[in-house]
Amino acid sequence: MHHLERVTFGELRLAVGRAGHDLAVSLHGHQLVPEAELAEELGDGACPDLPGFAVHHHVHEGGSIHVGLHFRAWRDLTEAPCMKGMSPAAPRHDVAALRAQFPALAQTVHGKRLAYLDSAATALKPRAVLAALERAYGLDMANVHRAVHELARRATEGYEAARSRVARFLGVADAKAVVFTRGTTEALNLVAQGWARPRLREGDEILLGELEHHSNLVPWQMVAEATGARLVWVPVSADGVVAAEDYLSRLTKRTRVVAMAHVSNVLGTVLPVAEVARGARAVRALTVVDGAQAVPHVPVDMTALGCDFYAFGAHKLYGPTGIGALWGRRERLEEVVPQQGGGEMILSVEREASRFKDLPHRLEAGTPHIAGALGLHAALDWYAELDHAALHAHEARLLARATEGVE
């Protein structure tokens, strides 16, 4: 981290997350510090100026490089030798212009301008997403993959383009490894019931964290009850931190599944998915990640994370409700048993048996949420245009202000 001292503050943008989480350092215009040079200088591991703290880096589609530094408190960071001479000022964005993109924020509630603080439950929708939904229902309304008329062609092409856009967002080339679902919950249940339940046996272990949302907890309780598998719990510390070792030390030859959030929905804790996934592979266990709270806040790259399944919904990423996606390694998705039958997933039907289509359609029974997929596409395009370093900085300022008010 200390090697970044040679970069002037004019080229360095700091976005500070919640205490106990990640600092995102965005080097806009990565030609200033090429990725290979950055990796060689920083590496991924201990920060020499902050003993016991970790550094990692990630290159975004647009060329920005983000360096993550895990820290416990803002004062620990500002007092670190590697930050001397650097202003803690952060980039700002036009809050009023961004607010204007959300019709819901133009209203007054109880006589005051609406302040919406419930995005962890669901995010408001920008005009770009609302326009995509209006077009889908108003102009391009037809079923997909089932007709050759013009509206059906546009609907089908739009639906599959949305799948490809999700794949790019997740950093994967194979769009057929993306299955549309009703959201994170359905995606995680599909893995639990379609992959784990037919394979787990009595004595097998499912590793779960105490920070898990119900959607990545209850399905595994159901699998354990049905198969005789045992739930093994990973605790969370008093300050909300979960270390990779907390997971790795509980992996055994009986571990079959590691289910974990990427970002906690309660504390915002960023979990060490990549490290845990490497450890899980060493004992031949699968890693299933709940990405619902991660996708609006941190870069997501399936190659970097190394997990086997990753689930998220659109509605916390400014997209429509009722649509989400499950990404899985192709060989693992092929093993998932369909949990619903009929409609789009059918190849042929006879009296005694039916044949199913190939991925991803075999896991997408019935008429899908076509408009939802198009809305998700619009949300991802809109989200990609935002200045994420500025947004993280603004979020940090709000957090600091709220924390000071509570204290």
CB atoms under 10 Å from CB of 368, counted, come to 20
End-to-end CA distance of the chain: 32
Quick one: which of 250, 237, 241 has its CA closest to 268?
Answer: 241
Q: Look up residue 56 and give its two tokens.
A: 């990692």
What sign for the dihedral angle of Cα 309, 315, 317, 320? positive
pLDDT at 399: 84
pLDDT at 268: 84
Local confidence pLDDT in tens for the 407 residues of the chain: 322 322 222 333 333 333 333 333 333 332 233 334 434 444 444 444 444 444 444 444 444 444 444 433 333 444 444 444 433 444 556 888 999 999 999 999 999 999 998 999 999 999 999 999 999 999 999 999 989 999 999 999 999 999 999 999 999 999 999 999 999 999 999 999 999 999 999 999 999 998 889 999 999 999 999 999 999 999 988 888 889 999 999 999 999 999 999 999 888 889 999 999 999 999 999 999 999 999 999 999 999 999 999 999 999 999 999 999 999 999 999 999 999 998 888 888 888 889 888 899 999 999 999 999 999 999 999 999 998 888 888 888 888 988 888 87
Alpha carbon distances (Å) from 80 to 2, 50, 72, 85? 10, 7, 12, 11
Cα(181)–Cα(199) distance, rounded to whole angstroms?
Answer: 22
Alpha carbon distances (Å) from 50 to 77, 79, 82, 84, 404? 8, 10, 8, 13, 26
Alpha carbon distances (Å) from 205 to 124, 226, 236, 293, 382? 39, 13, 19, 26, 41
pLDDT at 65: 44
Quick one: which of 72, 83, 64 has its CA closest to 17?
Answer: 72
Say if CB 158 and CB 145 are below 8 A apart: no
pLDDT at 46: 43
pLDDT at 406: 85
pLDDT at 219: 97
pTM: 0.78
pLDDT at 92: 56
- Residues 143, 146, 150: CA angle, nearest 5 degrees: 70
